[in-house]
Structure 1
């Protein structure tokens, strides 16, 4: 299982704009990649801090394919304009308990 993640600190007062831009970027992706699920979580103690998760990637090649799309790069550039900082990761499952 492959998961993409981002930890985002949004510029003060731009939280709603960030959420909207993030949602627009993933809305476009799920049309072409319906097996993917995306979540955006907001820190309850620091409302400017967000965690995004992308789940359901089949291969690293699929992640790289999406990240190379001009539409994805454009949407990411729009997101980065409202950030103070951000960090992205591609993760693989280490342990699962259910």
Structure 2
């Protein structure tokens, strides 16, 4: 597959802008609401969408599951270290 995480589109200044896949256009930047899960639960949010990537989707789903299942008011210890590879999605650092 030529673009397993979608085709990256950049600005004229070569800054990542969008990622195109078969059915949608998404921001080229990665955003996570994992730190906001408690607030979202309090607001009544009961569905979270995780956009799959070619790599590390299982780990991200597992991490979100742990945070979502944690008792209200508790803090799940997270160790998230990310690095950006040129023109690629974010991946967990080794």
Shared fold per TM-score greater than 0.5? no
Structure number with the higher strand fraction is 1
**What TM-score do you get using the length of structure 1 for normalisation?**
0.29
Calculate the TM-score normalised by the size of structure 2.
0.30
Report 1 or 2 for greater relative contact order, CA contacts < 8 Å, sequence distance ≥ 6: 1
Of the two, which has the highest radius of gyration?
A: 2
Higher helix share: 1
